Structure 1
Amino acid sequence: MKNIVPYSNVEKKIITIRGQKALLDSDVAELYGVETKRVNEALKNNPDKFPSGYVLCLTDEEMRPLRSKFSTLEKGRGKYSKYNANVFTEKGLYMLATILKSPRAAETTIAIVETFVKFKYAVKQKRKKR
């Protein structure tokens, strides 16, 4: 299967939040080729698949440095989204992959999984060198 989502596209979107590697809901949506609201609907409609620690809702303080990334409300009440973003940890991304369906869902899931594996391998190698 040809990977249409380059690993580098996933890697550059990964952020560290509360000591965990994660992806913003908007970045997940972009990678899967769906709207952010579809990602959050999947989260809302399947709460049993996302126990504590699988998805984190960013605090106002955590959102501040990311605000320039969001511009969903260009007119009207404000320039930015009125809701704080959700971030999906590695486990949350695996669960989300079982729900989201899009033409490129399988390729995107593979790219995400492989990128997280790559990160874990790099950390393991770094620890061995110490």
Structure 2
Amino acid sequence: MNKRKTYALKPSDKAKDERNPIVVLNQEDLKNKIYTIRGVQVILDRDLAELYSIETRALKQAVNRNKKRFPLDFMFILTENEVDIMVSQNVIPSRRHLGGAFPYVFTEQGIANLSSVLNSDKAIEINIQIMRAFVSMRKFISKNAEIFRRLDTVERKQLECQIKTDKNFEKVFEAIEDKEFVKKQGIFFDGQIFDAYNFVSDLIRSAKESIVLIDNFVDDSVLTLFLKRKDDVRVVIYTKTITKQLRLDLMKHNSQYPAVAIKEFKKSHDRFMIIDDKDAYHIGASLKDLGKK
């Protein structure tokens, strides 16, 4: 018969537990550490390790030594997409912060098993308080289930859109850093207004599916320039501030011509045009100032 493996605290740690009374945890703080992932309530490994006053690495080691006690409905590892969502919600500072390892998350049943695996009086006392937080959260969610369902649907769509946007920009900036520019280039000096205008016009005409413009200084002349694109070519403009005048220009434009989308984006100072999600052009001046700078 196999003996159950446990991860015991060192004698010095046990003595420390006996000298210091267990701190009563704030229930609201505990509730803030509970997240809903894959339809179940869970707590991250790093948050549990902090509550137990041990290292996250030690907690994972204890779990790995007792894998049979942690089936998927007790504990699972986050996927890449789930980590991206947690990062976008500022739950995790960044993927780099994880050091290449994806977090373990524990359901209520998995957390109950941790106290026996860790073999610590402190873990038992902490777990009792965590269980009470789970019960309180279940009651709250049950009373407000319909509201949460609606909010979750809206929030999920917003997060998916934000993650997709961030990933697209990461690809663009990586391509620029790696100098993976398209072959066609143009250098225009002050006064070569028509040459610069004609070059950008050709770029717009070359698009088959989509055009993305990152430019913090957009006006109605830029909207006019995009009328040169082929039918069914989508245009999205990212700019630092959408002024009342620009909003009015856009509304008037879209009421008569194929729609252009404009979104706020404050993370870029340079100008870029991306054709069909594959060809990136670094533009020295804003489109409205072609050939002037």
1:53 and 2:55 aligned: no
Q: Kindly tell me: are residues 120 and 66 of structure 1, through their superposed partners in 2, closer, same or farther at Cα, counting changes over 3 Å?
A: closer
Q: Kindly tell me: are residues 126 and 57 of structure 1, through their superposed partners in 2, closer, same or farther at Cα, counting changes over 3 Å?
A: same
Q: Deviations over 1:56-110 (max 9, x none)?
A: 1100111113345257xxxxxx554210111001111111121124563233111
TM-score (normalised: structure 2) = 0.38
Aligned to 1:9: 29
Measure the CA separation in 1 of the matches of 2:105 and 2:49: 11
1:110 and 2:128 aligned: yes
Residues 3 and 111 in structure 1, CA contact (< 8 A), matched pair in contact too: no
Residue identity matched to 2:44? L
* Aligned partner of 1:90 among 108, 118, 134: 108
Aligned to 1:65: 85
Shift of 1:3: 4.9
Q: How many residues get paired?
A: 122
**Percent of aligned pairs sharing the same letter:** 31
Residues 4 and 107 in structure 1, CA contact (< 8 A), matched pair in contact too: no
Q: CA RMSD in A?
A: 2.5
Secondary structure (helix, strand or coil) at the match of 2:48 reads helix
Q: Kindly tell me: are residues 18 and 101 of structure 1, through their superposed partners in 2, closer, same or farther at Cα, counting changes over 3 Å?
A: same
Secondary structure (helix, strand or coil) at the match of 2:42 reads strand
Secondary structure (helix, strand or coil) at the match of 1:98 reads helix
Residue identity matched to 1:81? G
Return the structure number with greater relative CO, CA threshold 8 A, min gap 6: 1
Higher Rg: 2
Residues 22 and 122 in structure 2, CA contact (< 8 A), matched pair in contact too: no
Measure the CA separation in 2 of the matches of 1:97 and 1:2: 15
Measure the CA separation in 2 of the matches of 1:25 and 1:119: 19
Residues 25 and 85 in structure 1, CA contact (< 8 A), matched pair in contact too: yes
Q: Kindly tell me: are residues 46 and 79 of structure 1, through their superposed partners in 2, closer, same or farther at Cα, counting changes over 3 Å?
A: closer
TM-score (normalised: structure 1) = 0.79
- Show structure 2 runs of 5+ residues with no match: 1-20, 146-293
Aligned to 1:74: none
Shift of 1:122: 2.6
- Show structure 1 runs of 5+ residues with no match: 72-77
Q: Kindly tell me: are residues 110 and 3 of structure 1, through their superposed partners in 2, closer, same or farther at Cα, counting changes over 3 Å?
A: farther
Secondary structure (helix, strand or coil) at the match of 1:22 reads strand
1:44 and 2:87 aligned: no
1:29 and 2:63 aligned: no
Residues 25 and 36 in structure 1, CA contact (< 8 A), matched pair in contact too: yes
Aligned to 2:12: none
Moved over 4 A (4+): 124-127
Residue identity matched to 1:20? V
Residues 44 and 105 in structure 2, CA contact (< 8 A), matched pair in contact too: yes
Q: Deviations over 1:30-51 (max 9, x none)?
A: 1111100111111100011112
